[in-house]
Amino acid sequence: MKLHYLPSSEETATLGTEALRDRFLLATLFQPGRLTAHYTGLDRMIVGAAMPAGEPLPLPNWKETGTSYFLERREIGIINLGDPGFVHVGPKRHALGTHDCLYVGLGERDVAFEDTVSGHGRAAFYFVSTPAHAKHPTAHVSRSQVETDPIGDPTKAARRRIHKYIHPDGIKSCQLVMGFTELEPGSVWNTMPAHTHSRRTEVYLYFDLEDNVVVHLLGNPRATRHVIVRDREAVLSPSWSIHSGAGTGSYRFVWAMAGDNQIFSDMDPVAVSDLR
């Protein structure tokens, strides 16, 4: 596990391209046959990915958690970005199709990721874990069970659909909120006008970009910076930072939040005219 802490707003304004990428971008999450993880300074979120190819990949325990097993004091949300696969939770095996989500609560000792065909290596499990204080039951929701109407203005290239999985009106959790957004054809902007979360932090994982890129804006709204993001790369967003991007083509992104509350609409909006 890699420890990944964030600079202050003032320090961020002084960083060059490579330093920004090193501090805010998780670029090598998905590695065939491996499970990777980053322990972040964002409300102690752990961000990782598993791409099993052959034997199931168990969710290990790292010394950084300070516990005897990974979910002793944590919960975890998992979304499969690849071909169908399985997630083992104790003796039960859960089948996850493409874009399906599985929540596993505090106290589950054994979690493992498996491909549907041994050696196939195309299931791609993305996960985010947050500290938890109470147990909520393991729950699965499929992509087909969550349908939403589009939001945003197509004349401003920001028409999109937000699919909420783990939230107060869906899968229950202690503090984790998680889902994904997909853009409508012809739209490129996500989350514009921009906003910050003074009470929460967030991670964006961009996927289904193919050969396209996203120009992701971050930083203080009056001193913005940017990173170029490619397929299956994640960007960390502290509470003081905006998190918004425009793509050179179609894409989707997983969002995950943690902090003082689980209210999806708890945002501090930033007018376009105030961006610098």
Give me the pLDDT at residue 50, please.
Answer: 97
Q: Return left, alpha or beta for 54; rule: phi > 0 is left, psi -120 to 50 is alpha, else beta.
A: left
Do the first three CATH levels of 2-8+28-135 and 150-274 match, i.e. the same topology?
Answer: yes
CATH numeric code, 150-274: 2.60.120.10
Kindly indicate the confidence band of residue 264, based on its pLDDT and cuts at 50, 70 and 90: confident
**Residue 243 scores a pLDDT above 80:** yes
pTM: 0.96
pLDDT confidence tier of residue 5, bands split at 50, 70 and 90: confident
What average pLDDT does the structure give for the chain? Answer: 94
Q: Report the candidate in 127, 163, 124 with the shortest Cα–Cα distance to residue 142.
A: 163
- Give 146-179 pLDDT, tens digit per residue: 878 889 999 999 999 999 999 999 999 999 999 9
pLDDT of residue 2 exceeding 70: yes
Look at residue 245 in the predicted model and tell me its pLDDT: 96
pLDDT in tens, 8-37: 999 999 999 999 999 999 999 999 999 999
pLDDT of residue 269: 92
- E strand or H helix at 220: none
> Each residue of 62-115: pLDDT tens digit?
999 999 999 999 999 999 999 999 999 999 999 999 999 999 999 999 999 999
> Looking at residue 222, what DSSP letter applies?
T
Domain ranges of the chain: 2-8+28-135, 150-274
CB 25 within 8 A of CB 15: no
CB within 8 A of 50, min separation 6: which ones? 34, 35, 36, 57, 59, 113, 125, 127
Query: pLDDT tens digits, residue range 177-212?
Result: 999 999 999 999 998 889 999 999 999 999 999 999
**CATH of span 2-8+28-135:** 2.60.120.10
Q: How confident is the model at residue 119 (pLDDT cuts 50, 70, 90)?
A: low
Exposed, middle or buried: residue 50 (CB in 10 Å: 0-12, 13-18, 19+)? buried
Task: Evaluate if residue 118 carries a pLDDT over 80.
Answer: no
Report residue 117's pLDDT band, with 50, 70 and 90 as the boundaries: low
The answer to whether residues 206 and 215 touch, using CB atoms and an 8 Å cutoff, is no
